Structure 1
Amino acid sequence: MASSLIPALAVTAPVANTAPAPVTGGEQHGLLQALAAVPDPRDPHGIRYPLSGLLTVAVCAVLAGASSFAAISDWLHDLDEQAKARLGFARRAPAGTTVWRLLTRLDAGLLTGVLAGWLRTRTRPGPRRPRRYRQVIAIDGKTLRSARRPDGGHVHLLSALDTATRAPAKSFR
Protein backbone atom coordinates (compact mmCIF):
# COMPACT_ATOMS: atom_id res chain seq x y z
CA MET A 1 0.00 0.00 0.00
CA ALA A 2 1.52 3.30 -1.09
CA SER A 3 1.92 6.11 1.40
CA SER A 4 2.34 8.93 -1.10
CA LEU A 5 0.12 12.01 -1.29
CA ILE A 6 -3.27 11.40 -2.87
CA PRO A 7 -3.55 13.96 -5.69
CA ALA A 8 -7.29 13.61 -6.30
CA LEU A 9 -8.05 14.58 -2.72
CA ALA A 10 -5.12 16.91 -2.02
CA VAL A 11 -6.17 19.25 -4.83
CA THR A 12 -9.36 20.08 -2.93
CA ALA A 13 -7.82 20.45 0.54
CA PRO A 14 -8.22 24.08 1.61
CA VAL A 15 -5.31 26.15 2.82
CA ALA A 16 -6.63 28.87 5.09
CA ASN A 17 -5.26 31.06 7.84
CA THR A 18 -8.55 31.01 9.75
CA ALA A 19 -10.28 28.06 11.33
CA PRO A 20 -12.99 26.60 9.10
CA ALA A 21 -16.63 26.83 10.08
CA PRO A 22 -17.74 23.73 11.98
CA VAL A 23 -19.54 21.12 9.91
CA THR A 24 -23.10 20.74 11.12
CA GLY A 25 -25.19 17.57 11.03
CA GLY A 26 -27.02 18.79 7.93
CA GLU A 27 -23.74 19.43 6.12
CA GLN A 28 -22.45 15.96 6.97
CA HIS A 29 -25.40 14.50 5.13
CA GLY A 30 -24.75 17.03 2.35
CA LEU A 31 -21.25 15.65 1.87
CA LEU A 32 -22.53 12.06 1.88
CA GLN A 33 -25.21 13.01 -0.65
CA ALA A 34 -22.74 14.91 -2.83
CA LEU A 35 -20.33 11.97 -2.87
CA ALA A 36 -23.18 9.60 -3.76
CA ALA A 37 -23.06 11.22 -7.24
CA VAL A 38 -19.64 9.67 -7.89
CA PRO A 39 -20.03 6.48 -9.95
CA ASP A 40 -18.77 3.36 -8.22
CA PRO A 41 -15.80 1.83 -10.11
CA ARG A 42 -16.05 -1.45 -8.17
CA ASP A 43 -17.58 -4.71 -9.37
CA PRO A 44 -21.15 -4.86 -7.98
CA HIS A 45 -20.55 -8.39 -6.68
CA GLY A 46 -18.88 -8.40 -3.32
CA ILE A 47 -19.37 -4.73 -2.36
CA ARG A 48 -19.34 -4.63 1.44
CA TYR A 49 -18.98 -0.92 2.15
CA PRO A 50 -20.91 2.02 0.70
CA LEU A 51 -18.94 4.17 -1.73
CA SER A 52 -20.19 7.45 -0.25
CA GLY A 53 -19.07 6.35 3.25
CA LEU A 54 -15.58 5.42 2.06
CA LEU A 55 -15.22 8.67 0.11
CA THR A 56 -16.50 10.72 3.05
CA VAL A 57 -13.86 9.12 5.27
CA ALA A 58 -11.15 9.88 2.71
CA VAL A 59 -12.22 13.52 2.29
CA CYS A 60 -12.55 14.14 6.04
CA ALA A 61 -9.21 12.46 6.76
CA VAL A 62 -7.44 14.59 4.14
CA LEU A 63 -9.09 17.75 5.49
CA ALA A 64 -7.86 16.69 8.95
CA GLY A 65 -4.29 16.45 7.64
CA ALA A 66 -3.92 12.89 6.34
CA SER A 67 -1.58 12.80 3.37
CA SER A 68 -1.30 9.08 2.65
CA PHE A 69 -3.47 6.02 2.25
CA ALA A 70 -2.15 4.66 5.54
CA ALA A 71 -3.10 7.89 7.34
CA ILE A 72 -6.63 7.73 5.89
CA SER A 73 -6.95 4.14 7.10
CA ASP A 74 -5.69 5.12 10.57
CA TRP A 75 -8.17 8.01 10.69
CA LEU A 76 -11.00 5.62 9.77
CA HIS A 77 -10.06 3.10 12.46
CA ASP A 78 -9.89 5.88 15.07
CA LEU A 79 -13.57 6.77 14.56
CA ASP A 80 -15.99 5.79 17.29
CA GLU A 81 -18.58 3.07 16.65
CA GLN A 82 -21.43 5.56 16.25
CA ALA A 83 -19.60 7.47 13.50
CA LYS A 84 -18.70 4.23 11.73
CA ALA A 85 -22.34 3.15 11.81
CA ARG A 86 -23.50 6.52 10.37
CA LEU A 87 -21.08 6.04 7.48
CA GLY A 88 -22.40 2.54 6.76
CA PHE A 89 -19.71 0.44 8.42
CA ALA A 90 -22.07 -1.44 10.75
CA ARG A 91 -20.18 -4.70 11.17
CA ARG A 92 -16.58 -3.56 10.92
CA ALA A 93 -14.42 -0.91 9.32
CA PRO A 94 -12.80 -1.66 5.95
CA ALA A 95 -9.14 -2.61 5.75
CA GLY A 96 -6.58 -0.11 4.52
CA THR A 97 -6.12 -2.06 1.29
CA THR A 98 -9.83 -1.66 0.54
CA VAL A 99 -9.52 2.11 0.85
CA TRP A 100 -6.36 2.08 -1.29
CA ARG A 101 -7.93 -0.03 -4.06
CA LEU A 102 -10.97 2.22 -4.23
CA LEU A 103 -9.11 5.52 -4.24
CA THR A 104 -6.67 4.40 -6.93
CA ARG A 105 -9.57 3.43 -9.24
CA LEU A 106 -11.53 6.68 -8.96
CA ASP A 107 -11.70 9.27 -11.72
CA ALA A 108 -9.80 12.16 -10.10
CA GLY A 109 -11.39 14.81 -12.32
CA LEU A 110 -14.91 13.70 -11.50
CA LEU A 111 -14.19 13.49 -7.76
CA THR A 112 -12.60 16.93 -7.80
CA GLY A 113 -15.65 18.37 -9.58
CA VAL A 114 -18.06 16.84 -7.06
CA LEU A 115 -16.01 18.10 -4.11
CA ALA A 116 -15.67 21.57 -5.64
CA GLY A 117 -19.45 21.70 -6.05
CA TRP A 118 -19.97 20.69 -2.42
CA LEU A 119 -17.46 23.28 -1.22
CA ARG A 120 -19.24 25.92 -3.29
CA THR A 121 -22.48 25.15 -1.42
CA ARG A 122 -20.69 25.67 1.92
CA THR A 123 -19.48 29.19 1.13
CA ARG A 124 -21.53 32.18 2.03
CA PRO A 125 -22.07 34.75 -0.68
CA GLY A 126 -19.66 37.63 -0.21
CA PRO A 127 -20.77 41.20 0.21
CA ARG A 128 -21.79 42.98 -2.97
CA ARG A 129 -18.81 44.86 -4.27
CA PRO A 130 -19.10 48.17 -6.04
CA ARG A 131 -19.14 47.81 -9.79
CA ARG A 132 -15.62 49.18 -10.21
CA TYR A 133 -13.99 46.19 -8.46
CA ARG A 134 -12.93 43.17 -10.44
CA GLN A 135 -13.48 39.56 -9.66
CA VAL A 136 -10.06 38.03 -9.00
CA ILE A 137 -9.56 34.37 -9.77
CA ALA A 138 -6.36 32.70 -8.50
CA ILE A 139 -5.18 29.92 -10.81
CA ASP A 140 -2.77 27.11 -10.02
CA GLY A 141 -1.60 24.35 -12.32
CA LYS A 142 0.56 21.29 -11.91
CA THR A 143 1.93 18.48 -14.02
CA LEU A 144 1.84 15.19 -12.14
CA ARG A 145 5.13 13.33 -12.13
CA SER A 146 5.05 9.69 -13.20
CA ALA A 147 1.40 9.98 -14.25
CA ARG A 148 0.65 9.36 -17.90
CA ARG A 149 -2.52 9.30 -19.95
CA PRO A 150 -3.21 6.28 -22.17
CA ASP A 151 -1.82 8.20 -25.16
CA GLY A 152 1.48 8.77 -23.28
CA GLY A 153 0.89 12.47 -22.54
CA HIS A 154 1.41 14.04 -19.14
CA VAL A 155 -1.47 14.58 -16.72
CA HIS A 156 -2.02 18.27 -15.96
CA LEU A 157 -4.22 19.65 -13.17
CA LEU A 158 -5.59 23.18 -13.15
CA SER A 159 -7.62 24.76 -10.35
CA ALA A 160 -9.17 28.19 -10.01
CA LEU A 161 -10.27 29.93 -6.80
CA ASP A 162 -12.47 33.00 -6.40
CA THR A 163 -10.41 35.07 -3.94
CA ALA A 164 -13.39 37.04 -2.64
CA THR A 165 -15.48 34.07 -1.54
CA ARG A 166 -12.66 31.48 -1.27
CA ALA A 167 -14.85 29.17 -3.32
CA PRO A 168 -13.38 26.96 -6.00
CA ALA A 169 -14.26 28.63 -9.27
CA LYS A 170 -13.55 25.62 -11.48
CA SER A 171 -11.37 22.57 -11.53
CA PHE A 172 -10.03 21.02 -14.72
CA ARG A 173 -8.08 17.92 -15.56
Structure 2
Amino acid sequence: MPVGASSRAVAGVVAAGGMLREEIWDRLARVPDPRSPRGRVYPLPCLLAVWLRALTAAGHDAACAVGQWVARASPAELPRLRLPFDPFTGRHRVPDEATLRRLLARVDRDALVATLLGDTASVSEGGLPTAVAVDGKTSRGARRADGTQAHLLGVATHGTGLLAGQVEVEAKSNETTAFPPLLAALDLTGVTVTFDAMHTVRANLDWLVTAKNAHYVAIVKANQPLLHTRLARLPWVDVLTVEVTRDHGHGRDETRTLKVATVGFLDFPTPPRLCGSSAGGVGEDRRPSRETVYLITDHPAETASPADLAAHARRHWHVENKVHYVRDVSFGEDASTLRTGNIPTNIATLRSTVINRLRRAGYRFIPPSRRDHTTPTAALDLHGFP
Protein backbone atom coordinates (compact mmCIF):
# COMPACT_ATOMS: atom_id res chain seq x y z
CA MET A 1 0.00 0.00 0.00
CA PRO A 2 1.40 3.48 -0.81
CA VAL A 3 2.65 5.45 2.19
CA GLY A 4 0.07 8.20 1.81
CA ALA A 5 -2.78 5.71 1.61
CA SER A 6 -1.48 3.87 4.66
CA SER A 7 -1.28 7.06 6.70
CA ARG A 8 -4.76 8.14 5.65
CA ALA A 9 -6.13 4.78 6.73
CA VAL A 10 -4.52 5.17 10.14
CA ALA A 11 -5.80 8.72 10.54
CA GLY A 12 -9.42 7.76 9.92
CA VAL A 13 -9.77 5.55 13.00
CA VAL A 14 -9.09 5.74 16.69
CA ALA A 15 -5.91 3.73 17.31
CA ALA A 16 -5.29 2.71 20.94
CA GLY A 17 -6.60 5.99 22.29
CA GLY A 18 -5.52 8.05 19.28
CA MET A 19 -7.20 11.28 18.20
CA LEU A 20 -9.96 11.37 15.61
CA ARG A 21 -9.56 13.57 12.53
CA GLU A 22 -12.49 15.73 13.65
CA GLU A 23 -11.10 16.56 17.09
CA ILE A 24 -7.37 17.11 16.65
CA TRP A 25 -7.69 20.86 16.01
CA ASP A 26 -10.01 21.19 19.02
CA ARG A 27 -7.45 19.45 21.21
CA LEU A 28 -4.65 21.78 20.11
CA ALA A 29 -6.92 24.73 20.82
CA ARG A 30 -7.07 23.72 24.50
CA VAL A 31 -3.46 24.81 25.04
CA PRO A 32 -3.50 28.35 26.52
CA ASP A 33 -1.99 30.97 24.23
CA PRO A 34 0.71 32.92 26.13
CA ARG A 35 0.84 35.73 23.56
CA SER A 36 -0.99 39.03 23.64
CA PRO A 37 -4.01 39.10 21.27
CA ARG A 38 -2.71 42.38 19.89
CA GLY A 39 -0.68 41.85 16.73
CA ARG A 40 -1.16 38.08 16.78
CA VAL A 41 -0.90 36.71 13.23
CA TYR A 42 -0.77 32.92 13.53
CA PRO A 43 -3.23 30.96 15.70
CA LEU A 44 -1.56 28.88 18.39
CA PRO A 45 -2.96 25.51 17.13
CA CYS A 46 -1.57 26.29 13.69
CA LEU A 47 1.99 26.84 14.94
CA LEU A 48 1.87 23.78 17.21
CA ALA A 49 0.66 21.69 14.28
CA VAL A 50 3.54 22.96 12.11
CA TRP A 51 6.04 21.87 14.77
CA LEU A 52 4.40 18.47 15.19
CA ARG A 53 4.23 17.64 11.51
CA ALA A 54 7.68 18.99 10.63
CA LEU A 55 9.34 16.92 13.37
CA THR A 56 7.68 13.85 11.87
CA ALA A 57 9.75 14.18 8.71
CA ALA A 58 13.28 12.78 8.84
CA GLY A 59 16.00 15.43 8.95
CA HIS A 60 13.86 18.15 10.52
CA ASP A 61 15.05 18.18 14.13
CA ALA A 62 15.99 21.85 14.61
CA ALA A 63 13.95 25.05 14.54
CA CYS A 64 15.58 26.18 11.30
CA ALA A 65 14.67 22.86 9.64
CA VAL A 66 11.06 23.20 10.82
CA GLY A 67 10.91 26.63 9.18
CA GLN A 68 12.29 25.19 5.94
CA TRP A 69 9.77 22.35 6.05
CA VAL A 70 6.73 24.63 6.23
CA ALA A 71 8.18 26.94 3.59
CA ARG A 72 8.22 24.02 1.14
CA ALA A 73 4.53 23.24 1.59
CA SER A 74 2.59 23.46 -1.67
CA PRO A 75 -0.45 25.72 -2.28
CA ALA A 76 -2.62 22.61 -1.97
CA GLU A 77 -1.12 21.69 1.42
CA LEU A 78 -1.12 25.15 3.03
CA PRO A 79 -4.91 25.24 3.61
CA ARG A 80 -4.64 21.96 5.54
CA LEU A 81 -2.03 23.64 7.74
CA ARG A 82 -4.62 26.37 8.46
CA LEU A 83 -2.11 29.12 7.91
CA PRO A 84 -3.76 32.56 7.58
CA PHE A 85 -4.53 33.73 4.05
CA ASP A 86 -3.26 37.17 2.96
CA PRO A 87 -5.79 38.72 0.51
CA PHE A 88 -3.27 41.36 -0.56
CA THR A 89 -0.75 38.85 -1.87
CA GLY A 90 -3.22 36.08 -2.66
CA ARG A 91 -1.08 33.61 -0.68
CA HIS A 92 -1.04 31.93 2.71
CA ARG A 93 1.35 33.45 5.20
CA VAL A 94 4.18 31.17 6.36
CA PRO A 95 5.82 31.53 9.81
CA ASP A 96 9.58 31.89 9.98
CA GLU A 97 12.00 30.12 12.30
CA ALA A 98 12.04 32.91 14.90
CA THR A 99 8.24 32.89 15.21
CA LEU A 100 8.15 29.13 15.69
CA ARG A 101 10.98 29.16 18.23
CA ARG A 102 9.58 32.04 20.33
CA LEU A 103 6.18 30.39 20.52
CA LEU A 104 7.52 27.05 21.72
CA ALA A 105 9.60 28.77 24.41
CA ARG A 106 6.47 30.29 25.97
CA VAL A 107 3.86 27.54 25.69
CA ASP A 108 2.86 26.01 29.02
CA ARG A 109 4.74 22.71 29.47
CA ASP A 110 2.08 20.83 31.40
CA ALA A 111 -0.75 21.93 29.12
CA LEU A 112 1.12 20.71 26.05
CA VAL A 113 1.81 17.33 27.69
CA ALA A 114 -1.85 16.95 28.66
CA THR A 115 -2.96 17.80 25.12
CA LEU A 116 -0.56 15.67 23.12
CA LEU A 117 0.29 12.80 25.47
CA GLY A 118 -2.88 12.70 27.54
CA ASP A 119 -4.61 10.36 25.08
CA THR A 120 -1.98 7.64 25.52
CA ALA A 121 -3.73 4.46 26.60
CA SER A 122 -2.06 1.83 28.74
CA VAL A 123 -1.83 -1.56 27.12
CA SER A 124 -1.84 -5.15 28.29
CA GLU A 125 0.33 -7.64 26.48
CA GLY A 126 1.10 -11.30 26.95
CA GLY A 127 -1.34 -11.70 29.85
CA LEU A 128 0.60 -9.27 32.04
CA PRO A 129 -1.20 -6.69 34.16
CA THR A 130 -1.09 -3.23 32.63
CA ALA A 131 2.23 -1.61 33.54
CA VAL A 132 4.09 1.67 33.12
CA ALA A 133 7.72 2.62 33.75
CA VAL A 134 9.04 5.85 35.29
CA ASP A 135 12.52 7.05 34.36
CA GLY A 136 14.44 10.30 33.96
CA LYS A 137 16.43 11.73 31.06
CA THR A 138 18.81 14.67 30.83
CA SER A 139 18.80 16.86 27.71
CA ARG A 140 22.57 17.25 27.64
CA GLY A 141 22.78 20.06 25.12
CA ALA A 142 20.05 22.20 26.71
CA ARG A 143 21.53 24.17 29.59
CA ARG A 144 19.55 26.63 31.65
CA ALA A 145 20.71 30.18 32.33
CA ASP A 146 22.37 29.05 35.56
CA GLY A 147 24.37 26.38 33.73
CA THR A 148 22.33 23.39 34.88
CA GLN A 149 21.04 20.88 32.36
CA ALA A 150 17.36 20.38 31.64
CA HIS A 151 16.20 17.09 33.16
CA LEU A 152 12.87 15.39 32.35
CA LEU A 153 11.04 12.65 34.22
CA GLY A 154 8.75 10.56 32.03
CA VAL A 155 6.32 7.65 32.28
CA ALA A 156 5.88 5.16 29.41
CA THR A 157 3.86 2.02 28.85
CA HIS A 158 5.56 -1.36 29.02
CA GLY A 159 5.75 -3.24 25.75
CA THR A 160 4.68 -0.52 23.33
CA GLY A 161 6.90 2.19 24.81
CA LEU A 162 4.30 4.97 24.43
CA LEU A 163 5.14 8.04 26.52
CA ALA A 164 2.10 8.90 28.66
CA GLY A 165 3.46 12.00 30.38
CA GLN A 166 6.53 13.90 31.51
CA VAL A 167 7.52 16.79 33.76
CA GLU A 168 10.65 18.90 33.95
CA VAL A 169 12.59 18.49 37.17
CA GLU A 170 13.33 21.93 38.55
CA ALA A 171 16.97 22.94 38.96
CA LYS A 172 16.85 23.02 42.79
CA SER A 173 14.84 19.81 43.09
CA ASN A 174 15.24 16.13 42.15
CA GLU A 175 13.38 13.27 40.50
CA THR A 176 11.92 12.01 43.78
CA THR A 177 9.88 15.18 44.37
CA ALA A 178 8.67 15.13 40.73
CA PHE A 179 7.32 11.56 41.05
CA PRO A 180 3.81 12.37 42.40
CA PRO A 181 3.20 15.35 40.05
CA LEU A 182 4.14 13.16 37.07
CA LEU A 183 1.63 10.44 37.93
CA ALA A 184 -1.09 12.49 39.65
CA ALA A 185 -3.24 13.01 36.54
CA LEU A 186 -3.07 9.37 35.36
CA ASP A 187 -5.65 6.72 36.23
CA LEU A 188 -3.42 4.05 37.75
CA THR A 189 -6.08 1.82 39.27
CA GLY A 190 -4.75 -1.73 39.00
CA VAL A 191 -1.70 -0.53 37.04
CA THR A 192 1.80 -1.74 37.95
CA VAL A 193 4.34 1.08 38.17
CA THR A 194 8.03 0.22 37.82
CA PHE A 195 10.91 2.56 38.65
CA ASP A 196 14.56 2.54 39.60
CA ALA A 197 16.11 2.78 43.05
CA MET A 198 15.98 6.57 43.23
CA HIS A 199 12.18 6.48 43.62
CA THR A 200 12.08 3.54 46.02
CA VAL A 201 11.17 5.65 49.04
CA ARG A 202 8.42 4.89 51.51
CA ALA A 203 6.38 8.00 50.66
CA ASN A 204 6.15 7.07 46.97
CA LEU A 205 5.26 3.44 47.68
CA ASP A 206 2.53 4.41 50.16
CA TRP A 207 1.14 7.04 47.79
CA LEU A 208 0.88 4.59 44.88
CA VAL A 209 -0.98 1.98 46.92
CA THR A 210 -3.27 4.18 49.03
CA ALA A 211 -3.91 7.23 46.81
CA LYS A 212 -3.62 5.79 43.29
CA ASN A 213 -4.78 2.18 43.92
CA ALA A 214 -1.77 1.04 41.91
CA HIS A 215 0.85 -1.66 42.32
CA TYR A 216 4.61 -1.24 42.24
CA VAL A 217 7.72 -3.24 41.38
CA ALA A 218 10.62 -1.24 42.76
CA ILE A 219 14.38 -1.74 42.67
CA VAL A 220 16.26 -1.53 45.97
CA LYS A 221 19.89 -0.40 45.96
CA ALA A 222 22.41 1.09 48.34
CA ASN A 223 20.71 4.50 48.34
CA GLN A 224 18.31 2.83 50.80
CA PRO A 225 21.07 1.29 52.95
CA LEU A 226 18.93 -0.11 55.79
CA LEU A 227 16.39 -1.77 53.48
CA HIS A 228 19.10 -3.00 51.11
CA THR A 229 21.08 -4.54 53.98
CA ARG A 230 18.03 -6.30 55.37
CA LEU A 231 17.22 -7.78 51.96
CA ALA A 232 20.81 -8.87 51.34
CA ARG A 233 20.97 -10.64 54.70
CA LEU A 234 17.88 -12.76 54.11
CA PRO A 235 18.61 -16.52 53.84
CA TRP A 236 18.24 -16.56 50.07
CA VAL A 237 20.03 -19.92 49.84
CA ASP A 238 17.00 -21.47 51.55
CA VAL A 239 14.51 -19.84 49.14
CA LEU A 240 13.48 -21.91 46.14
CA THR A 241 14.32 -20.64 42.65
CA VAL A 242 11.03 -19.98 40.86
CA GLU A 243 12.21 -18.67 37.48
CA VAL A 244 15.25 -19.42 35.30
CA THR A 245 15.83 -17.84 31.89
CA ARG A 246 18.75 -18.15 29.51
CA ASP A 247 19.50 -15.96 26.52
CA HIS A 248 22.27 -14.61 24.34
CA GLY A 249 22.71 -10.99 23.36
CA HIS A 250 25.42 -8.40 22.75
CA GLY A 251 28.05 -11.14 22.58
CA ARG A 252 27.14 -12.52 25.99
CA ASP A 253 25.51 -15.70 27.28
CA GLU A 254 23.36 -14.99 30.33
CA THR A 255 21.43 -17.02 32.88
CA ARG A 256 18.93 -15.24 35.12
CA THR A 257 17.42 -16.72 38.26
CA LEU A 258 14.57 -15.34 40.35
CA LYS A 259 13.65 -16.08 43.96
CA VAL A 260 10.55 -14.68 45.67
CA ALA A 261 9.69 -14.48 49.37
CA THR A 262 6.89 -12.77 51.34
CA VAL A 263 7.96 -11.12 54.59
CA GLY A 264 6.15 -9.53 57.51
CA PHE A 265 8.91 -7.58 59.22
CA LEU A 266 8.53 -4.47 57.02
CA ASP A 267 5.89 -1.90 57.99
CA PHE A 268 4.16 -1.42 54.62
CA PRO A 269 0.47 -0.89 53.72
CA THR A 270 0.40 -4.48 52.45
CA PRO A 271 2.90 -7.26 53.23
CA PRO A 272 5.51 -6.90 50.47
CA ARG A 273 7.00 -9.66 48.39
CA LEU A 274 10.74 -9.53 47.99
CA CYS A 275 12.52 -10.69 44.86
CA GLY A 276 16.16 -11.57 44.45
CA SER A 277 17.14 -11.60 40.79
CA SER A 278 20.64 -12.81 39.90
CA ALA A 279 22.17 -12.57 36.44
CA GLY A 280 25.35 -14.43 35.64
CA GLY A 281 27.02 -14.71 32.28
CA VAL A 282 30.11 -15.07 30.15
CA GLY A 283 31.12 -12.44 27.60
CA GLU A 284 33.21 -12.65 24.45
CA ASP A 285 36.35 -12.39 26.57
CA ARG A 286 35.14 -15.54 28.42
CA ARG A 287 35.33 -13.73 31.74
CA PRO A 288 32.37 -14.62 34.00
CA SER A 289 30.42 -11.99 35.94
CA ARG A 290 27.46 -12.00 38.29
CA GLU A 291 25.06 -9.34 39.61
CA THR A 292 22.20 -9.56 42.09
CA VAL A 293 19.31 -7.07 42.06
CA TYR A 294 16.68 -6.85 44.80
CA LEU A 295 13.08 -5.93 43.99
CA ILE A 296 10.14 -5.19 46.25
CA THR A 297 6.48 -5.36 45.23
CA ASP A 298 3.06 -5.15 46.83
CA HIS A 299 1.66 -7.68 44.32
CA PRO A 300 0.28 -10.79 46.02
CA ALA A 301 0.78 -14.14 44.33
CA GLU A 302 -2.81 -13.98 43.03
CA THR A 303 -2.18 -10.91 40.85
CA ALA A 304 1.41 -11.45 39.70
CA SER A 305 3.30 -14.69 39.30
CA PRO A 306 7.10 -14.85 39.56
CA ALA A 307 7.24 -14.85 35.76
CA ASP A 308 5.13 -11.67 35.72
CA LEU A 309 7.48 -9.98 38.18
CA ALA A 310 10.53 -10.97 36.14
CA ALA A 311 8.86 -9.61 32.99
CA HIS A 312 7.99 -6.33 34.72
CA ALA A 313 11.62 -5.91 35.78
CA ARG A 314 12.86 -6.51 32.22
CA ARG A 315 10.20 -4.37 30.54
CA HIS A 316 10.92 -1.44 32.80
CA TRP A 317 13.78 -0.54 30.48
CA HIS A 318 11.43 -0.07 27.53
CA VAL A 319 11.14 3.58 28.59
CA GLU A 320 14.89 3.89 28.00
CA ASN A 321 15.13 1.77 24.85
CA LYS A 322 11.93 2.87 23.07
CA VAL A 323 11.65 6.50 24.17
CA HIS A 324 14.84 8.09 25.49
CA TYR A 325 17.25 6.27 23.18
CA VAL A 326 15.07 6.98 20.14
CA ARG A 327 14.84 10.68 20.95
CA ASP A 328 18.64 10.85 21.22
CA VAL A 329 19.54 8.81 18.15
CA SER A 330 16.68 9.55 15.73
CA PHE A 331 15.94 13.15 16.76
CA GLY A 332 19.36 14.27 18.03
CA GLU A 333 17.95 15.42 21.37
CA ASP A 334 21.24 15.34 23.26
CA ALA A 335 22.91 17.37 20.50
CA SER A 336 20.17 20.03 20.48
CA THR A 337 21.10 23.36 22.08
CA LEU A 338 17.54 24.75 22.08
CA ARG A 339 17.16 25.85 25.69
CA THR A 340 15.25 29.13 25.90
CA GLY A 341 12.29 29.07 28.28
CA ASN A 342 10.17 25.94 27.97
CA ILE A 343 11.67 24.74 24.68
CA PRO A 344 13.59 21.70 26.06
CA THR A 345 10.47 20.18 27.61
CA ASN A 346 8.07 21.20 24.86
CA ILE A 347 10.18 19.91 21.98
CA ALA A 348 10.72 16.63 23.87
CA THR A 349 6.93 16.38 24.19
CA LEU A 350 6.51 16.94 20.45
CA ARG A 351 9.17 14.35 19.61
CA SER A 352 7.50 11.80 21.88
CA THR A 353 4.13 12.54 20.28
CA VAL A 354 5.63 11.75 16.88
CA ILE A 355 7.11 8.50 18.21
CA ASN A 356 3.75 7.53 19.75
CA ARG A 357 1.91 8.18 16.50
CA LEU A 358 4.38 6.24 14.38
CA ARG A 359 4.25 3.27 16.74
CA ARG A 360 0.46 3.31 16.67
CA ALA A 361 0.63 3.32 12.88
CA GLY A 362 2.38 -0.04 13.10
CA TYR A 363 6.00 0.99 12.61
CA ARG A 364 8.62 -0.89 14.60
CA PHE A 365 11.62 1.28 13.68
CA ILE A 366 11.43 5.07 13.86
CA PRO A 367 14.08 6.21 11.28
CA PRO A 368 12.44 4.51 8.25
CA SER A 369 9.00 5.55 9.43
CA ARG A 370 10.09 9.20 9.49
CA ARG A 371 11.47 8.82 5.98
CA ASP A 372 8.05 7.56 4.93
CA HIS A 373 6.52 10.89 5.98
CA THR A 374 8.84 13.56 4.61
CA THR A 375 6.15 15.42 2.65
CA PRO A 376 3.59 17.70 4.35
CA THR A 377 0.76 15.57 2.94
CA ALA A 378 2.11 12.34 4.42
CA ALA A 379 2.65 13.99 7.83
CA LEU A 380 -0.82 15.56 7.76
CA ASP A 381 -2.41 12.21 7.00
CA LEU A 382 -0.42 10.38 9.67
CA HIS A 383 -1.58 12.73 12.45
CA GLY A 384 -5.16 12.80 11.23
CA PHE A 385 -5.45 16.43 10.16
CA PRO A 386 -8.41 16.96 7.80
TMscore range, shorter length: 0.5 to 0.7
Q: Which residue, out of 137, 152, 172, partners 1:142? A: 137
Selected match of 1:75 from 47, 69, 84: 69
CA deviations 1:26-47 (Å, max 9, x no partner) are: 8444332221111111111011
Query: Which residue is equivalent to 1:55?
Result: 48
Q: Distance in 2 between matches of 1:69 and 1:137?
A: 31
Deviation of the 1:156 alpha carbon:
2.7
Deviation of 1:106 after TM superposition, in Å, equals: 1.7
Supply the distance in 2 between the matched residues of 1:163 and 1:36 (Cα, whole angstroms). Answer: 30
Gaps of 5+ in 1: 1-18
Q: Percent identity?
A: 30
Q: What secondary structure is seen at the aligned counterpart in 2 of 1:80?
A: coil
Q: Map of 1:92-111 to 2, 5 A cutoff? A: 92-111=93-112
CA deviation string 1:54-91 (max 9, x = no partner): 10010111122321101111111122223322332223
Aligned residue for 1:40, secondary structure, equals: coil
Choose 1 or 2 for highest CA Rg. Answer: 2
Query: Aligned-pair distance for 1:52?
Result: 0.3
> Within 2, Cα distance between the matches of 1:58 and 1:171?
19
Which structure 2 residues correspond to residues 16-165 of structure 1 after superposition, within 5 A?
A: 22-24=10-12, 27-65=20-58, 66-89=60-83, 90-91=85-86, 92-118=93-119, 120=120, 126=123, 130=127, 133-144=128-139, 145-147=142-144, 155-165=150-160
**For 1:156 and 1:41, how far apart are their aligned partners in 2?**
23
Which runs of 5 or more structure 2 residues have no equivalent in the other structure?
A: 1-5, 14-18, 87-92, 169-386
Q: CA deviation at 1:110?
A: 2.5
| One-letter code aligned to 1:147 | R
> What TM-score does the superposition give when structure 2 sets the normalisation length?
0.33
| Normalised TM-score (structure 1) | 0.68
**TM-superposition CA deviations, 1:84-117 (whole Å, max 9, x none):** 2233222321222211211122223331232102
Query: CA offsets per residue over residues 113-148 of structure 1, 9 Å max, x none?
Result: 321024x2xx6x756764xx2433233312344126
Cα gap change, 1:49/1:23 in structure 2, threshold over 3 Å: closer, same or farther?
Answer: same
Conserved 8 A contact 2:118-2:164: no
SS in 2 for 1:117: coil
Letter in 1 for 2:138: T
The answer (yes or no) to whether the contact 1:142–1:157 under 8 Å persists in 2 is: yes
Q: Structure 1 residues 140 and 67, CA, compared in 2 at 3 Å: closer, same or farther? A: farther
| Counterpart contact for 1:38–1:110, Cα < 8 Å | yes
Decide which structure has greater strand share: 2
Q: Please tell me the root mean square deviation across aligned C-alpha atoms, in Å.
A: 3.1
Report runs of 4+ in structure 1 exceeding 6 Å deviation.
Answer: none
User: 2-side partners of 1:28 and 1:77: how far apart?
Assistant: 24
Work out whether residues 123 and 157 of structure 2, in 8 Å CA contact, stay in contact via their aligned partners in 1: no
Check the 8 A contact 1:113/1:171 in 2, yes or no.
Answer: no
* 1:50 shift after superposition: 1.1
Aligned residues: 147
Query: Partners of 1:154 and 1:109 in 2: how far apart?
Result: 19
Whole-Å separation in 2 of the counterparts to 1:153 and 1:113 = 26
Q: Per-residue deviation at 1:166? A: 4.0
Give 1:4's aligned residue: none
SS in 2 for 1:140: strand
Aligned to 1:12: none
1:94 is matched by which residue type in structure 2? P
